[in-house]
Amino acid sequence: MNDNRTVKSHDLLPEPTLRRLPWYLAYVTMLKSEGVEYVSSTRIADELCVDASQIAKDLSFINIKGKTRIGYEVSSLKDALRRFLGFCDRHNAVMVGVGSLGAALMQDSGLQRYGLNIVAGIDTDPRLEGRRIADIPVFAPDRLADLVQSLAITIGIVAVPVESAQTVADSLVAAGVKALWNFTPTRIRVPQEVVITNTSIYSHLAVMYNRLGSQKT
């Protein structure tokens, strides 16, 4: 655990707050690159269409308070948000399923910038075994438990076909990961102590198509 973290970071934050914090981070990162030193919650509010009082409340969770009339100091707000969001720590992860989406994510250097360190890939395809994707080695499934232990992997990313999703999740949990990041469009069951985050990009497509269709009438 990073000593720089405030005690607050261990609290279970409301998910809407957690989803807004990266917006604030993105905005102050941009302001910093433009040389801006201070920003008011009103300005953040205008830019991001979030209520100013909501912003003050969200930021109070991470023990950041603005100064009257001056607002927030951009540089320290940026650092505090990055630390709080866990983007400064290194979280070792294994990608299970080095198919189209899995391989694509392994090549996204953005994940690394946000603290996700994919240290190994796993695939059932023997042709992938021993290969490297974005310099990350790919292994056969029987290496999973061993890799999770020896590489101190805490996060398992599930990017396999739907029919294997639950089996893969079960073996990741058995191997000892603490969190699963599910990219399949199905629901995965995990024990209560395991964190699960669903990023079903295909479900987002369905929402978008429906909204598009309804606007044509």
Binders of a second copy among 78-117, rule CB under 8 A? Answer: 85-87, 89, 91, 100-101, 103-105, 107-111, 114-116
Tell me which of 58, 74, 128, 184 binds a second copy, using CB under 8 A.
184
* Strand ranges inside 25-164, DSSP E: 38-39, 72-73, 91-96, 116-122, 132-133, 136-139, 155-158
Q: Is 169 in the site for a second copy (CB under 8 A)?
A: no
Q: Is 209 in the site for a second copy (CB under 8 A)?
A: yes
Interacting span for a second copy (CB under 8 A) from 12-20, 71-79, 117-125, 145-153: 12-20
Q: How far is the CB of 69 from a second copy (least distance, A)?
A: 26
Q: Is 167 in the site for a second copy (CB under 8 A)?
A: no
Q: How far is the CB of 37 from a second copy (least distance, A)?
A: 17
Q: Is 214 in the site for a second copy (CB under 8 A)?
A: yes
Q: CB-wise, 22 or 137, nearer to a second copy?
A: 22
**CA separation for the pair 47, 44 (Å, rounded):** 5
Dig out the tokens for 50 from the structure: 């979030």
Q: How far is the CB of 139 from a second copy (least distance, A)?
A: 21
Q: CB-wise, 142 or 163, nearer to a second copy?
A: 163
Give the orientation angle of helix 41-48 with respect to helix 52-60, to 10 degrees: 110
Q: Which of residues 22-51 bind a second copy (CB under 8 A)?
A: 22-23, 25-27, 29-30, 33, 47-50
**Contact between 55 and 89 (Cβ < 8 Å):** no
Dig out the tokens for 69 from the structure: 């009339």
Q: What is the DSSP string of 22-55?
A: HHHHHHHHHHHHTT--EE-HHHHHHHHT--HHHH
Q: Count the neighbouring beta carbons within 10 Å of the beta carbon of residue 76.
A: 11
Q: Is 162 in the site for a second copy (CB under 8 A)?
A: yes
Q: CB-wise, 67 or 108, nearer to a second copy?
A: 108
For residue 95, the cross-strand partners are 121, 157
